[in-house]
């Protein structure tokens, strides 16, 4: 479903498993900080709202979105984490750089999920404009960080069942 048809922050709290006892890593791209810090705020707020202890949230910064997969792998290997949430923002420019970054990050995060059999969450905005990114980082379409946090909680719950 297109984001403009759904608010990224809307969910039924009754459908969300408790995050109590979970340890969650967050890898945050420093590029487009206005956007990524808003995503981080939504992510942390949602995790703690659902029972994750703030001391059990490990946050690591990487220079840009392309570095998210390696940063996620490094923090997964450094601690006993249940999931890693990757937060970034890539805004279309005048060159194909956007395509290469988006494809590389998507493939990298996919591979981490399969390699570690633990959730690595794709919390990356890929927008045409800065305004579209703002709309999805706490603006009129909600906050992708909230969606990423809820996805992490659900996927950890699923992974603990299997």
Euclidean distance between CA atoms 147 and 64, whole angstroms = 21
Q: Which residues contact 45 (CB under 8 A, 6 or more apart)?
A: 146
**Could you confirm whether 97 is annotated as catalytic?**
yes
HSE-CB at 36 with a 13 A cutoff on CA atoms is 26
Cα dihedral 72, 38, 140, 83 sign: positive
Among residues 37, 97, 141, 162, the one annotated as catalytic is: 97
Euclidean distance between CA atoms 121 and 104, whole angstroms = 15
Q: Which positions are catalytic?
A: 97
């Amino acid at each position: 479903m297109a984001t403009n048809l759904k608010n990224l922050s809307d969910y039924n709290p009754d459908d969300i498993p408790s995050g109590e006892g979970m340890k969650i890593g967050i890898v945050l791209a420093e590029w487009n900080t206005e956007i990524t810090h808003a995503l981080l705020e939504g992510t942390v707020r949602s995790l703690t709202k659902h029972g994750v202890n703030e001391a059990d949230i490990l946050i690591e910064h990487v220079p840009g979105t392309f570095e998210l997969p390696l940063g996620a792998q490094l923090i997964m290997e450094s601690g006993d984490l249940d999931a890693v949430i990757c937060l970034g923002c890539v805004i279309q420019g005048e060159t194909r750089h956007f395509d290469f970054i988006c494809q590389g990050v998507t493939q990298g995060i996919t591979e981490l999920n399969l390699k570690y059999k633990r959730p690595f969450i794709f919390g990356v905005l890929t927008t045409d404009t800065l305004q579209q990114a703002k709309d999805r980082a706490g603006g009129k379409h909600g906050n992708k960080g909230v969606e990423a946090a809820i996805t992490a909680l659900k996927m950890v719950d699923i992974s603990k069942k299997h």
